[in-house]
Amino acid sequence: MLNMSLVLILLVNYCPNYLHRQYSNDNEFEASILMCIFLALGGNSTTWMNTAILVTCIRNFRKNRGPVSGILKGYVGLSTAIFTDTCSSLFANSPSKFLLMLAVVPAIVCLTAVFFLREVQQTITSTAAQEEESKYLNFFNVVAVIVALYLLAYDISGKHSRILALCFASGLLFLLVASPLFIPLYSIFKNVSSNNDVESSVDLHQHNSNQVQIGETQPEALEKPVPVEENVLRSEQVRKEKSALLEEKDLRNDHVVELERKSVLVGEKVSGTDDVVEIVYRKPVLGEDHTILETVKTLDFWILFLSFLCGVGTGLTVMNNLGQMGLALGYVDVSMFVSLTSIFGFFGRIGSGTISEYFLKKAATPRPFWNAASQIPMCLGYIVLAIALPGSLYVGSILVGICYGVRLAITVPTASELFGLKYYGLIYNILILNLPLGSFLFSGLLAGLLYDAQATKTKGGGNTCIGSHCYRLVFVIMALTCVAGFGLDVLLTLRTKDLYKNIQTASHAKARKSGVDQE
């Protein structure tokens, strides 16, 4: 139902855009009302997509939350460059056809995903299975990096001929984006081959058993050793039984934890034999499942919320105002800066997800540490933009894009590890309220008011500002905001240090236990 809703929202959002482009009159008021409706529908469609995909994948890949978050958020950031270059390559002279493509293609993808996107039962218990899952995710990372480098090379190589642009968009780019589909196909083929091998072993074992029964009076048949295939089958059966027992034990442990949270106290009545059960609820600790009310009552949630606001709010200000910033600094075409922000934002997302997961497993490094680390270069990026040296917009766009991507990718698994997965979808959506809130506070109010104060009125009734002074105060304030965000992230890192140490210890203990069971 959720995926079908995504399809309907996409169609309702983009199809009216296409029809409006084709048949609308020159009524400015009507056009503005329609645009508001379309933007509202578009904003809701992306939120529904994010919730359905992120929550499902984080629950399905609990042992690799960082890389999964980096891949998903990375492709979201990369999609800006993909669609920008696709539009300029295929639909440069026909914006209405581009809108029609946006209405049809994503809807078809979502309609196809209805049959595949679901939460699956956790069956990965062995270290070998976890390593195999990590290899698949690494393949996703490699393909995504190739796509990003391909887009970067296309953008910095300047203008292209029509034929080259068509080859870029319809040929190589499509193949690169679609190449991760080979992973599930390979996995299916591998499972089928494995099942065939097991069936062959069973048939061979039955054949050998029949031969023993036919010639059981012969001494050589009686002395024949047990076939190797039988040992393999028995080992496989024992492994499956152990996996089932471990899974059942995990479910029992989860139930015990839930009961412990309620602190059940049992006593006896004085006048009878009936039991009296008194249930006293206690607050969950970090790492346990939190309800929404329990989450918003914790100090850690508000530290994460405010630090997230400092990072994404200032980052969105740069992205939303790149056009005016480029014009103020003397750049007529800012499409290059949009692509740079998108592509390097992708590198920040995919890199931080993988790196944070590696250091979490190796050194129990808290994920908020990487949020704190990202605030430093972001602050430097705003200082570079405020100084407005030649080429500063290139450097600033790259630094802000990387750090903004780190912030988005790290916050996703952090929230799930701090407050649990039971209500993760709603908790995540409360956190990303910072996106419209930060855009309103920093881009709408701060940047808008300060820019208007520096601008001069034009004959057309608008305001235009040319020069490095237009956004200088905005960049200084955002740099100070990053310093405040850095302090909040350091505080959250210290408060969650024990939690991540426990996560690392539990992960190593399960790995050792799984190795012993396999032996």
- Cα distance between residue 414 and residue 125, in whole Å: 23
pLDDT for 426: 92
Listed range (15-19, 62-66, 315-319, 379-383) with the worst mean pLDDT? 15-19
pLDDT for 262: 47
Longest Cα–Cα distance of the chain, Å, equals 111
Tell me whether strands 463-464 and 456-457 are parallel, antiparallel or unpaired.
antiparallel
pLDDT for 203: 58
pLDDT for 75: 86
Q: For 35-67, how does the pLDDT look when each residue is reduced to its tens digit (9 = 90+)?
A: 788 777 777 777 888 888 888 889 888 888 999
- CA count, 13 A, side-chain hemisphere, 62: 16
CB 275 within 8 A of CB 267: yes
Give the residue with greater pLDDT, 207 vs 290. Answer: 290
User: pLDDT band for position 1 (50/70/90)?
Assistant: very low
Token readout for 8 is 């309907």
pLDDT for 125: 58
Give the residue with greater pLDDT, 199 vs 116. Answer: 116
- Cα distance between residue 403 and residue 344, in whole Å: 9
pLDDT of residue 4 exceeding 50: no
Average pLDDT on 345-364 reads: 92
CB 106 within 8 A of CB 449: no
Mean pLDDT of the chain: 77
Q: What angle, rounded to 10 degrees, do the helices at 392-419 and 299-320 form?
A: 150
Average pLDDT on 371-383 reads: 96
Average pLDDT on 209-234 reads: 48
User: pLDDT band for position 508 (50/70/90)?
Assistant: confident
pLDDT for 512: 67
Average pLDDT on 447-467 reads: 78
pLDDT for 174: 73
User: pLDDT band for position 230 (50/70/90)?
Assistant: very low
Note the CATH number of domain 2-158+286-511.
1.20.1250.20
CA angle 2, 122, 139 (to 5 degrees): 80
- Cα distance between residue 275 and residue 517, in whole Å: 41
User: pLDDT band for position 222 (50/70/90)?
Assistant: very low
Token readout for 364 is 């129990």
pLDDT for 342: 84
Average pLDDT on 133-145 reads: 86
pLDDT for 246: 47
Q: For 463-487, how does the pLDDT look when each residue is reduced to its tens digit (9 = 90+)?
A: 788 888 889 999 999 999 999 999 9
- CA terminus-to-terminus distance, the chain: 44
Measured CA to CA in angstroms, residue 189 lies from 47, 142, 185, 345, 380 at distances of: 34, 22, 6, 35, 49
Contacts 24+ apart (CB under 8 A), 422-425: 422/289, 422/290, 423/289, 423/290, 423/291, 423/292, 423/295, 424/55, 424/58, 424/59, 425/51, 425/55
Q: What angle, rounded to 10 degrees, do the helices at 299-320 and 472-495 form?
A: 150
- Which of 35-49, 96-110, 184-198 shows the highest mean pLDDT? 96-110
CB 110 within 8 A of CB 7: yes
pLDDT of residue 460 exceeding 50: yes
pLDDT of residue 379 exceeding 90: yes
pLDDT of residue 498 exceeding 80: yes
Token readout for 77 is 């950031």
CB 288 within 8 A of CB 281: no
pLDDT of residue 72 exceeding 60: yes
User: pLDDT band for position 462 (50/70/90)?
Assistant: low
pLDDT for 229: 45
Token readout for 7 is 């399809």
- Which of 25-39, 211-225, 365-379 shows the highest mean pLDDT? 365-379
pLDDT for 312: 94
Cβ partners under 8 Å of residue 380, min gap 6: 399
pLDDT for 245: 46
pLDDT of residue 373 exceeding 80: yes
pLDDT for 13: 52
User: pLDDT band for position 2 (50/70/90)?
Assistant: very low
User: pLDDT band for position 364 (50/70/90)?
Assistant: very high
pLDDT for 253: 47
- Cα distance between residue 78 and residue 140, in whole Å: 14
pLDDT of residue 302 exceeding 90: yes
Listed range (5-19, 325-339, 344-358) with the worst mean pLDDT? 5-19
pLDDT of residue 490 exceeding 90: yes
Give the residue with greater pLDDT, 45 vs 513. Answer: 45
Q: For 250-295, how does the pLDDT look when each residue is reduced to its tens digit (9 = 90+)?
A: 444 444 444 445 444 444 444 444 555 555 667 888 888 999 999 9
